[in-house]
Amino acid sequence: MKITQLEPIILHAPVTRGGIADSTHKLSHWGAPGVAIHTDTGHVGYGFSGTHAHLATDRLIVDCILHSFGPLLLGEDPREVLALWEKLHKQAEIYWVGRAGITHLALGAIDIALWDLKAKEAGVPLWKLLGGSAQKKVEAYNTDGGWLNWPLETVVSDCKRLVEEGGYRAVKLKIGGPNPREDLRRVEAVRQALGPDIRIMTDVNGRWTLPQAIQTGSRLQDFDIVWIEEPIYFDDVEGHRRLAETIATPIALGEQLYTASHFRDFIHAGAVHYVQPDVVRLAGITEFWQVADLARCYSLPVVPHVGDMCQVHQHLCFAHPACALLEYIPWLRDWMETPAKIVDGYYVAPEAPGAGMTPNRRALEEINRA
């Protein structure tokens, strides 16, 4: 099996109700810039990154895939994915200008497409190739009811609907707005509406200073929160360590960490309790697996962030023993050949061969028009 051609792909999918916001970002579309890797056997592998759908930035990622990494891939056997990852990482000239950021997202999209090919050629879903089982329970928690730009009544009614009609037993609320009292009011209102048994996660998206995080984070304890996610600036290992020592509510983070060594530093410092690697922020499945193994060595749960809109992560969760819970955001549901499926709050193991990111006809038509 040999790689014959790389084809660029950029897909922009609208988010819920035309626009969402957290404390740090506002977006109308989710971006999926990536690649279709063609082979001489006719199999096509698909891999995407996840972005805020800024076309100029997405083009940089795709250019990096095609022009910086592409020439090193042509003629290679895609099934030798670990060896190819090392080759791209060490031999591509682009690594001189960055071991994180755009270069890393580009390598991640390629790595996912290579694993997709390996699983398609083997005729099995990725979770099976990785040694997983469909018997495993992978629970879903839903992030799509708690956006910061939605009025409190909308957040409360959406969260109730997710629980009562969707079957979810865990939801995430965005906080970190300009007024901490309003943050606490939102959490309190949702806790009251959902009762004591539904789990609630909170996500600050890196907005607080350490003193704000200590003050407001301590008060969140009253509402029995599962975790506070990204309380302070993404790269601050020491700040998160101090916070973890000071407040009772556990800390979750990882969606902004690019490399396995970033995770090593946070985990080793005791600065994180719930480890949230993202297969499209790390360089793909290869590096995700290293992070999940590392977390397992420290007995920490892995609850991935779904920059891929859970399409690849569901496979990883059915396979890796550190994963039992996975975020759910539905923004690629209408664009994928086999969208993630949740029944009664649990993921259903996908049956189609591959890694889960094959676009459907509608997506391919849209891409060709662009």
Q: Give min distance, CB of 303 to Mg ion, in A.
A: 11
Q: Give min distance, CB of 73 to Mg ion, in A.
A: 32
**CB nearer to ligand 0YR: pick between 121 and 229:** 229
Residue in 39, 136, 73, 53 with CA at minimum distance from that of residue 331? 53
- CA 53 to each of CA 33, 113, 347: distance values in angstroms, whole numbers, following the listed order: 8, 20, 27
Q: Is 25 in the site for ligand 0YR (CB under 6 A)?
A: yes
**CB nearer to ligand 0YR: pick between 205 and 249:** 205
Q: Is 58 in the site for ligand 0YR (CB under 6 A)?
A: no
**CB nearer to ligand 0YR: pick between 149 and 192:** 149
In the annotation, is 87 catalytic?
Answer: no
> DSSP letters along 294-356, please?
HHHHTT--B----TTTTTTHHHHHHH-TTB-EEEE--TTTTTBSS---EETTEEPPP-SSBSS
Q: Give min distance, CB of 240 to ligand 0YR, in A.
A: 16
Q: Is 17 in the site for ligand 0YR (CB under 6 A)?
A: no
Q: How many CB atoms lie within 10 A of CB 128?
A: 20
Q: Give min distance, CB of 255 to ligand 0YR, in A.
A: 6
Helix (H) or strand (E) holding 148: none
**CB nearer to ligand 0YR: pick between 111 and 203:** 203
Span of 20-28, 119-127, 287-295, 345-353 interacting with ligand 0YR by CB under 6 A: 20-28
Q: Is 308 in the site for ligand 0YR (CB under 6 A)?
A: no
Q: Could you say which of 128, 172, 240, 305 is catalytic?
A: 305
**CB nearer to ligand 0YR: pick between 205 and 216:** 205
In the annotation, is 120 catalytic?
Answer: no
User: By the 8 A CB rule, do 267 and 298 touch?
Assistant: yes
Q: Is 305 in the site for ligand 0YR (CB under 6 A)?
A: yes
Q: Provide the CA 53 distance to its chain's centre, in angstroms.
A: 15
Considering only the C-alpha atoms of the chain, give the largest distance between any 2 of them, rounded to a whole number of Å.
Answer: 60
Q: Residue 143: which of ligand 0YR, Mg ion, none does it interact with, CB under 5 to 8 A by kind?
A: ligand 0YR
Assign residue 334 a region (left: φ > 0; alpha: ψ between -120 and 50; beta: otherwise): alpha
- Catalytic residue positions, numbered: 174, 305
Q: Which residues bind ligand 0YR (CB under 6 A)?
A: 22, 25, 27, 143, 203, 205, 255, 305
